[in-house]
């Protein structure tokens, strides 16, 4: 996020679509995890959402973080998020835990969903690692509403690190939710390889959790049918593709070009040079082209844009191959060649 954006947000000049909500309740869910219930100060219904959705949370210092909605989508009177206090926080989780209290007014963005339930699934298999349980909670609610079946394997360090235990108790008793406690050693927890060795007909798997967990599930599902494996990443560190920093790109060049690439706007033919140490979004903003960004790491889909010409080096963590054949993310996509034409 550039300095101008940070200054504007610190002065609380939030995006026009942003919504001010009030913190009605803060609940201790597990060691290091609090949930935050957000409601309209006027008691109005909130915009609807579907399971797997997330919201942008705008902080007063100008930073933006994405948090999954974890309440039942049938509920229109509130949004519920749960946040793990990270040991090496970039400010988001620490700020929430330290400064966001009951009756505090906060600012959130529009609901977006890059992790929806598949309408083609005959059975839903949810795999949650730690705080990755948050989108799964909404998925359980939607699945139950739709009369569909699910099984969830929930991996955590210990019972004390297991969030939403009271809400899950009925499903644990029914055998629909299976808890796995590894004491901090993943090898002592869920046997992911064995669990995913065989794909039952019509089963779709959904997984979310820390980077190691994400990589393990991705490896274990390589043989699953295309389109039946769905993931939600909380961090770009979970990507199996090592991403270069801007400084590294500047030093070694992009895809052998070495001098950046050009991006053209299809609407008017305007062409801009994207240096190795800048993103497409950076360059467009510098030239007065309005583009909306949020996570700046390919995690949220805010800047997803159709492209018309060129070969794209995709660095996002939200699109499948079919989407990447049509779209790129302005915040982190690069060109493999000398030029990209985008639908702006």
pLDDT at 73 over 50: yes
Contacts of 203 (CB under 8 A, 6+ apart): 121, 122, 123, 124, 125, 228
Tokens at residue 33, please?
């995890």
Contacts of 247 (CB under 8 A, 6+ apart): 277
Phi, psi of 139 (to 5 degrees): -65, -40
Please say whether the structural domain 246-342 has been given the CATH code 3.10.20.30: yes
- Of the candidates 106, 72, 94, 54, which has an alpha carbon nearest to the alpha carbon of residue 234? 54
Burial readout 297-311 (b: 16 or more C-beta within 10 A, e: otherwise): bbbbbbbbbebeebe
Higher pLDDT pick, 37 / 88:
37
- Asked whether the domain spanning 123-238 has the same topology as the one spanning 3-113, the reply is no
Higher pLDDT pick, 95 / 213:
213
pLDDT at 2 over 70: no
pLDDT at 254 over 80: no
What pLDDT was estimated at residue 317? 81
Enumerate the H helices of 183-258 as residue ranges: 192-195, 211-220, 246-252
Fold adopted by 123-238: Rossmann fold (3.40.50)
Tokens at residue 255, please?
């895809």
Which residue ranges make up each domain of the chain?
A: 3-113, 123-238, 246-342
Tokens at residue 70, please?
């974890």
Phi, psi of 108 (to 5 degrees): -130, 160
For residue 220, the surrounding DSSP H or E stretch is helix 211-220
Tokens at residue 235, please?
């961090």
Q: What residues does 328 pair with on adjacent strands?
A: 305
pLDDT tens digit sequence for 22-49: 999 999 999 999 999 999 999 999 999 9
Q: What residues does 156 pair with on adjacent strands?
A: 181
pLDDT band at 90, cuts 50/70/90? low
What pLDDT was estimated at residue 91? 60
pLDDT tens digit sequence for 178-201: 999 999 888 899 999 999 999 999
The string of DSSP codes covering 139-169 is: HHHHHHHTT--EEEEEEESSGGG-TTHHHHH
**Quick one: CATH architecture of 3-113?**
Beta Barrel (2.40)
What pLDDT was estimated at residue 5? 40
């Amino acid at each position: 996020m550039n300095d101008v954006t940070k200054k504007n947000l610190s002065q609380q000049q939030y995006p026009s679509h942003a919504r001010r909500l009030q913190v009605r309740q803060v609940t201790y869910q597990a060691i290091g995890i609090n949930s935050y219930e957000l409601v309209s100060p006027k008691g109005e219904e909130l915009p609807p959402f579907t399971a797997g959705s997330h919201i942008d949370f705008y902080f007063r210092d100008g930073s933006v973080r994405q948090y999954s909605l974890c309440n039942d989508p049938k509920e229109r009177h509130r949004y519920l998020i749960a946040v793990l206090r990270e040991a090496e926080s970039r400010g988001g989780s620490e700020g929430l835990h330290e400064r966001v209290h009951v009756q505090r007014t906060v600012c959130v963005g529009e609901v977006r969903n890059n992790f929806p339930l598949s309408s083609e699934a005959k059975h839903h298999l949810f795999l949650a690692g730690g705080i990755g349980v948050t989108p799964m909670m909404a998925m359980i609610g939607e699945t139950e509403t739709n009369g569909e079946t699910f099984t969830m394997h929930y991996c955590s360090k210990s019972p004390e690190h297991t969030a939403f235990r009271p809400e899950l108790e009925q499903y644990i008793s029914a055998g629909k939710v299976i808890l796995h406690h590894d004491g901090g050693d993943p090898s002592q927890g869920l046997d992911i390889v064995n669990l995913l060795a065989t794909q039952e007909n019509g089963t779709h798997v959904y997984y979310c959790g820390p980077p190691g967990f994400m990589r393990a599930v991705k490896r274990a599902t390589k043989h699953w049918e295309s389109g039946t494996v769905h993931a939600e990443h909380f961090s770009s560190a979970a990507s199996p593709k090592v991403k270069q920093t801007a400084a590294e790109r500047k030093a070694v060049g992009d895809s052998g070009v070495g001098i950046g690439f050009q991006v053209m706007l299809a609407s008017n033919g305007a062409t801009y040079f994207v240096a190795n140490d800048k993103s497409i979004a950076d360059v467009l903003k510098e030239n007065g082209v309005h583009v909306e960004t949020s996570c700046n790491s390919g995690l949220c889909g805010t800047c997803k844009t159709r492209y018309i010409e060129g070969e794209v080096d995709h660095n996002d963590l939200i699109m499948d191959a079919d989407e990447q054949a049509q779209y790129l993310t302005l915040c982190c996509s690069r060109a493999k060649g000398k030029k990209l034409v985008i639908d702006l």
